[in-house]
Amino acid sequence: MFEGDTVIKSELVQIVAARNPHLYHRDVENIVNAVLDEITDALAGGNRVELRGFGAFSVKNRPSRSGRNPRTGDAVFVEEKWVPFFKTGKELRERLNPGQADQDD
């Protein structure tokens, strides 16, 4: 199915196109791009995106803080920022850990 440790977008497009030979490759590429763009736009708007059985994407706030430069050890100010966050869905966790009871519920 997947080659290597990481799947890049072009490989995902190829896999989906191979599983759906009735669709043109360019249409599959447009669909994948549209889905990813909609998720990105929703997150940029501060919304949450939930894909049942797979997981939920959201944004979390990281407040400003004092940090350290790893090279010099000097104190540095790290500004507040918003970061993407992904929480796996129950079905995905069960598929990754077959036979284990769900710990989060």
pLDDT tens profile 2-43: 666 899 999 999 999 999 999 999 999 999 999 999 999 999
Residue 24 structural domain: 1-47
pTM of this structure: 0.77
- Burial per residue of 62-74, b for 16 or more beta-carbon CB atoms within 10 angstroms, e otherwise: eeeeeeeeeeeee
Helix (H) or strand (E) holding 50: strand 49-51
Q: Is residue 104, in this structure, part of any structural domain at all?
A: no
**43 and 55 co-located in one domain:** no
pLDDT tens profile 68-90: 999 999 999 999 999 999 999 99
Instruction: Give the bridge partners for 49, in sequence order.
Output: 57
Q: How confident is the model at residue 1 (pLDDT cuts 50, 70, 90)?
A: low
Q: Is residue 103, in this structure, part of any structural domain at all?
A: no
Q: Is residue 105, in this structure, part of any structural domain at all?
A: no
| pLDDT on residue 99 | 85
Q: How confident is the model at residue 105 (pLDDT cuts 50, 70, 90)?
A: low
d(CA 57, CA 50): 6
Residue 102 sits at the vertex; the CA angle it makes with 98 and 104, to the nearest 5 degrees, is: 145
Q: Is residue 18, in this structure, part of any structural domain at all?
A: yes
In the chain, the number of structural domains is 2
| pLDDT on residue 100 | 82
